[in-house]
Amino acid sequence: MRPTKSRKDGHISISLPKLNTSLATPLTSQQLSEWSRTIASKFVPDEYIQQSSCKGSNLCFKFEETNFVKHVLQQVYREKDSYGWLHIPKPSNSTVLIDYSSPNIAKPFHAGHLRSTIIGNFIKQIHKALGYHIVGINYLGDWGKQYGFEKYGNEAELVSDPIHHLYQVYVKINLDAKLDKDVDRKANEYFKRMEDGDPEALKQWKQFRDLSIKSYASMYQRLNVQFDVYSGESQVNTYIPKAYDQLKRSHLLQRTEDGALAIDLEKYHLGTAIVQRADGTSLYMTRDLASILMRREKYPFQKAIYVVGSEQAGYFKQLFQISNLVEYSNENLQHVGFGRIKGMSTRNGTAVFLQDILDTAKERIMDYMKQSEEKSQLENIDAVADQLAMSAILIQDMKSKRNKDYEFSWGRMTDARGDTGVFLQYAHARACGIERKAGIAIDPDCDFSILKEKEAINLVQCIAQFPETVEAAFATLEPSTIVNYLFKLSHATSTASACLRVKDMDPDVSRARMLLFWSARSTLKNGLHLLGIKPIEKIFGWDQGQVYSTSVLPGEERVNSISETTGLFFDFIQTFRLSNNYIYREQLSQNLLTRQYYIEVDVNHLISFNADLANKLTTTPADYLPMFENAVKDSAKRILFANPKTVSNLDVPDCQVTLKSSANVVQIRDLNSDYIGKLVRIPGIVIGASTLSSRATQVTAMCRSCRNTKVIPVTGGFSSIVLPRNCDSQDLNGEGNNCPMDPFVIMHDKCKFVDSQVIKLQEAPDMVPVGDLPRHTILNADRWLTNRVVPGMRAIVMGIYSIFQSKSAKSTGAAAVRTPYIRIVGLQVDQHNNGRGKPHFTDAEEDEYIRMSRQPDLYETFARSLAPSIFGNMDIKKAITCLLFSGSKKILPDGMRLRGDISVLLLGDPGTAKSQLLKFTEKVAPIAVYTSGKGSSAAGLTASVIRDPASRDFYLEGGAMVLADGGVVCIDEFDKMRDEDRVAIHEAMEQQTISIAKAGITTILNSRTSVLAAANPVFGRYDDMKSAGENIDFQTTILSRFDMIFIVKDDHNESRDMSIARHVLNVHMNRQTQDAVMGEIDLEKMKAYINYCKAKCAPRLTAAAATKLSSHFVTIRKEMKDTERDTEVRSTIPITIRQLEAIIRISESLAKMTLSPYANEQHVDEAIRLFKYSTLDAISNGGADGMTRSDLMSEVQLIEKDIQKRLPVGSQVPCAKLKEHCLRDGYSEAAFSRALTILVRREMLVLRAQGKMVLRQGF
């Protein structure tokens, strides 16, 4: 069935000769003609088919056009995004697995992989649309000879660009292999190590795989391709033995002459398939068989589709035949092949990488767009160019039959005039433009009889063909069927749009045509969706015009005129005084002398002067603030000029009014539509501040025709203007000039501008409810309120809660949706970053805190109140207490700053409540940010440079250590952080600043934070038989920055275990007393007391304490030196001047806790004790009974050998007797205990009878 060539023959025709081929006995031409005439004469018309006729051996049918058009367009309207496939029966619980793309790591992403990606994504999209449950798998070639990185690899280059770097290594090592045959042997040995599970080889392989997947994922995202699973040959290793077992049970395996295993498939005309090399390593065939096993188990599928090049057809026939022979059914396994791409290369040479293909296409599209002035001025030109480039790549690949080879052409692909992806996107954008410009609602019940034009009927016919096109494409899995249909639809739409005008027509005509073009656009969008392409709704320009809102005052109320209201504000500035001081008049005078043209007004003062005026200012600030500023300008004129009446207002500088208030704050999450247009006061933390831009306050426009100028005022914030459509100037006779429509152009040099800045404010972490994400809002600051804050600062913002129409809302057609923002009129910056802590304390509070400071056991009480539900760990809690109070910050005469913040690292076994301590610290610290090492990047911890989507300028957004300025950063899973991310906080931990030099931004942000970090040892649990350095996988540079390092071990101690168990059970059974659960000091009081101490006290060491501390430090250094000399091993945790400063800070924090102005000898003694218990204990960990770790290790090994000699396999002996023999032989008790523990872990010995008997059970 196809459209007729001429409308006089009807609308569609059926070719009987084509039907003739399906008959058992084909008819002659004469018989076919007679058959055609018979059918036509007997045809009975109905409401859709008006008549039937014959033309030779073809049957022609003519539609009843009105009913046909109505049926098609209403069907499109009903089915909308499902039009084209909604009529196809949906499968019930049918899973389809699609294996596509499948690049190899360490090798270039060649053209075959690109075709597999594009075609596979189409197959996925069409199955998904038809209701199948899809599992899209990217089966990476990740299991091979990953050899050569040790020689040619570079870690930095690997992380920055893994695909290119691994390919470079691959090329170099292959060149070596050609010159030296031994290289190939080593590569095979390395691969054998991988298959045998060698940890080092697998660790390196996993790094290559993870980095490659991350790199590919970002490129797939540009192509709008998503995978459900990233699998690979490596993940089927555990299934390979099962595959071999099934092959053996099926008696298919044969040994070849060279020792390999093969399967003879000659009787199926498929040759011989090798499944195992002579050295025992697996091949593709083996791994693919194992993958079928794995996939059937993990994703029970009804059909599996492999999208691989047609050259692999023979291989898949072998695979599917073997699968059938080992009792997997091969009926639901399908290979979808495709031809090759010829002539693909990039500007960089012959090796083709996916990134290069995408970037080259985008560059060419960008070059084309920049040829047009209109296109080059697009705000979103980069995003549009990228989408057009991806569409061009996808359509060029899918427009030809998939089994055919095609010639790749950059020029043809990016041409907007031919049948290309760019053309399809332009066609969709033009159809969207018709809807936007017409502004007519879609009416499915319009008058369809209006659509009689040939172009309209042709377009409806084309739309009606889409469902059968989808069916045909699904049956053959042929994307070109959809692509070629979309070209036809786009041409029909373009032809119709050129002839059928929608805007400014009769309303009935406009509605009917609007529905027609909407249906065409919807069909085109659905087709692009099946191809995996995101349609572009608008390519050139943005809608102009703006909707304005204004406040409406009650009609009964007498409204003062503008001059009266301005006069009231003028009186306030001139006459308001406190204690005979005219504070605002004097403030304005001082600011004018220093050329700071602003005045800061306290709203409380205005309330006391005129409550009604203050109320109007707070409820309708957008109306009253300009009057206030006019009043300030009048006051400034009186101050600056002796005879102000003779001075023009143009000669007086504009003065800004900023407001401050002590009114209650509103949280960001509580802002709603009720606050729009009102004055609000919100607290938060600044996370981003843009660079300054210029915003027009007055726009001067000139008429092109008569040169008349017009000054248009612009309100503050994000408001915009609309130029007048007509010129209202008059000639000398008083008659209007005959100027054309839209004559005005903006004269930028005559406009007035002010500085403007966009700020992003986020709820402070301590204001966010548990389990919720922090909310943020956009602020707009102008004039003297710009450049007042940087990321990390806490501030209370006073502003007008306003709205503007964002570009995203415009593009979606949501005309009534507005985005809220706050236009700043006042800014109170928290200079000391006290956060929620009170900057002022009442007398009663001060008395209470002073009484607390005099408690003799305050230190112990405070430590016990920290996480009281956690048993023990008193010294760790004391260390955290010191961290919360911190030492004293110092600024030396030369300007150098010494930090007072204390950092603590908890390193130890899982289940030792490290994370719980961090969580509690986050709650008790006045300012705290909790983050996890694995989920934190360098930018997330320090600061990131963000591009403003509107201005395309860069600005800073602060990370965790900036947001926690003045508080504590709790970093859990510190060991899981990447090394490059951990290095980023070096400066923040010691200098307490973060230096940024990115994207043209060079600045320093404050990061005055304490760091409380928790980590696990290298081996998961702390291994006593290894040194601290072997257990701690951190560099010396980061360890030296921690003031205290605690090794938290889960030692087995019966009495201690019993106490912990009893404590945990009591917690779970709610049997603890309220005091034990809450602690002796409640949470809020602890937080307030910490704030008070940090605000009021900055202790210094006494001379005696300093002397004592210096002698102890020298002693510690000497002991460390002796230990390192004896063991001939450098300590991982160094003892440097930093550690001396750490003890000083701990001493000062202990003094600050009791509000003591000096840190005395008792404070130093406790600080040294804490330091010895933590850091020094961590250094010496691994020794016992005065023995060094190396001596202890030697003795343990001797005891192990001795026990193995004494106890034959299967014998048992009392543990006490065995211990007695060892001690008699001169071994230490500590060495015996550790040797026994190690042998039990190795399952060589088993403890019985509650540890009293020892059984030897293995070698």
pLDDT band for 1018, please (50, 70, 90 cuts): confident
Please determine, for residue 549, whether its predicted confidence score (pLDDT) is greater than 50.
no
- Which class is domain 843-1180? alpha beta
- Which class is domain 95-234+299-338? alpha beta
Share of the chain above pLDDT 70, in %: 79
Q: Number of helices (H) and strands (E), helices first, in the chain?
A: 47, 40
Residue 240: the pLDDT is 86
Say if residues 651 and 643 touch (Cβ distance below 8 Å).
Answer: no
Residue 111: the pLDDT is 62
Residue 739: the pLDDT is 81
Two domains, one topology: 95-234+299-338 and 843-1180: yes
- Compute the average pLDDT of residues 220-230: 86
From 12, 60, 18, select the one nearest 36 (Cα to Cα). 60
Rounded to whole angstroms, the Cα distance separating 1133 from 1137 reads: 13
Residue 38: the pLDDT is 77
Query: Which is more confidently placed, 268 or 915?
Result: 268
**Tokens matching residue 464:** 């009606």
Query: Which is more confidently placed, 586 or 466?
Result: 466
Please determine, for residue 728, whether its predicted confidence score (pLDDT) is greater than 80.
no
Please determine, for residue 314, whether its predicted confidence score (pLDDT) is greater than 60.
yes
Residue 1022: the pLDDT is 64
Residue 596: the pLDDT is 86
- Compute the average pLDDT of residues 201-217: 76
| 588-597, 838-847, 1111-1120, 1247-1256: which is most confident | 588-597
- Residue 231 phi/psi, 5-degree rounding, is -105, -165
Query: Which is more confidently placed, 765 or 346?
Result: 765
Say if residues 1031 and 1017 touch (Cβ distance below 8 Å).
Answer: yes
- Compute the average pLDDT of residues 124-153: 80
Residue 371: the pLDDT is 57
From 338, 425, 354, 408, select the one nearest 110 (Cα to Cα). 354
Averaged pLDDT score across all residues of the chain? 77
Query: Which is more confidently placed, 324 or 177?
Result: 324
Which one from 70, 107, 127, 399 is the annotated catalytic residue?
Answer: 107
Residue 697: the pLDDT is 80
pLDDT band for 147, please (50, 70, 90 cuts): low
Domain 354-530 has CATH 3.40.50.720: no
- Compute the average pLDDT of residues 519-542: 84
Which one from 11, 62, 113, 317 is the annotated catalytic residue?
Answer: 113
- The domain segmentation of the chain, as residue ranges, is 2-63, 95-234+299-338, 354-530, 560-652, 664-831, 843-1180, 1189-1256
Residue 76: the pLDDT is 93
Q: To 10 degrees, what angle do helices 1161-1171 and 874-885 make?
A: 120
Is 107 a known active-site residue? yes
Say if residues 512 and 446 touch (Cβ distance below 8 Å).
Answer: yes
pLDDT band for 416, please (50, 70, 90 cuts): low
1189-1256 to CATH, choices 3.90.1150.10, 1.20.1560.10, 1.10.1040.10, 1.10.10.10: 1.10.10.10
pLDDT band for 555, please (50, 70, 90 cuts): very low
Residue 832: the pLDDT is 42
Cα distances (Å, whole numbers) of residue 1132 to 1013, 1141, 1171: 18, 19, 16
**Contacting residues for 1126 by C-beta, under 8 A, at least 6 apart:** 1188
Residue 815: the pLDDT is 54
Rounded to whole angstroms, the Cα distance separating 1036 from 1034 reads: 7
**Tokens matching residue 998:** 């990115």
| pLDDT tens readout for residues 872-892 | 778 888 888 888 888 888 777
Please determine, for residue 241, whether its predicted confidence score (pLDDT) is greater than 70.
yes
From 530, 452, 462, 461, select the one nearest 490 (Cα to Cα). 462
Residue 766: the pLDDT is 67
Cα distances (Å, whole numbers) of residue 849 to 863, 949, 1087, 1156, 1158: 17, 50, 12, 13, 18
- Compute the average pLDDT of residues 243-249: 86
Please determine, for residue 277, whether its predicted confidence score (pLDDT) is greater than 80.
yes
Residue 554: the pLDDT is 36
Please determine, for residue 146, whether its predicted confidence score (pLDDT) is greater than 70.
no
- Compute the average pLDDT of residues 1040-1048: 81
Rounded to whole angstroms, the Cα distance separating 642 from 647 reads: 10
Residue 1: the pLDDT is 61
- Which class is domain 560-652? alpha beta
- Compute the average pLDDT of residues 1187-1203: 66
Is 1112 a known active-site residue? no
Please determine, for residue 545, whether its predicted confidence score (pLDDT) is greater than 70.
no
With residue 713 as reference, give the H or E element that holds it.
strand 709-713
Is 87 a known active-site residue? no
Rounded to whole angstroms, the Cα distance separating 1114 from 1105 reads: 14
| 47-61, 76-90, 1004-1018: which is most confident | 76-90
Say if residues 717 and 804 touch (Cβ distance below 8 Å).
Answer: yes
- Compute the average pLDDT of residues 299-317: 90
Torsion of CA 1032, 1036, 1039, 1040, to 10 degrees: 150
Cα distances (Å, whole numbers) of residue 511 to 172, 427, 444: 67, 21, 9
Please determine, for residue 551, whether its predicted confidence score (pLDDT) is greater than 70.
no
Residue 1069: the pLDDT is 63
Residue 78: the pLDDT is 92
With residue 153 as reference, give the H or E element that holds it.
none
From 632, 1200, 1090, select the one nearest 841 (Cα to Cα). 1090
| 98-112, 536-550, 885-899, 1166-1180: which is most confident | 885-899
| pLDDT tens readout for residues 646-688 | 777 777 888 888 888 888 888 888 888 888 888 888 888 887 7
Say if residues 721 and 697 touch (Cβ distance below 8 Å).
Answer: no
Which one from 11, 62, 70, 110 is the annotated catalytic residue?
Answer: 110
* CATH number for region 664-831: 2.40.50.140
| pLDDT tens readout for residues 1157-1180 | 888 888 888 888 888 777 766 665
pLDDT band for 598, please (50, 70, 90 cuts): confident
pTM for this model (two decimals): 0.46
Please determine, for residue 1046, whether its predicted confidence score (pLDDT) is greater than 60.
yes
CATH architecture of residue range(s) 2-63: 2-Layer Sandwich (3.30)
On the CB side of 931, CA atoms within 13 Å amount to: 26
**Tokens matching residue 957:** 């957004």
Q: Which residue has the tokens 């008819």?
A: 27
Q: Which residue has the tokens 């298919």?
A: 252
- Residue 450 phi/psi, 5-degree rounding, is -70, -30
Rounded to whole angstroms, the Cα distance separating 1087 from 1093 reads: 10
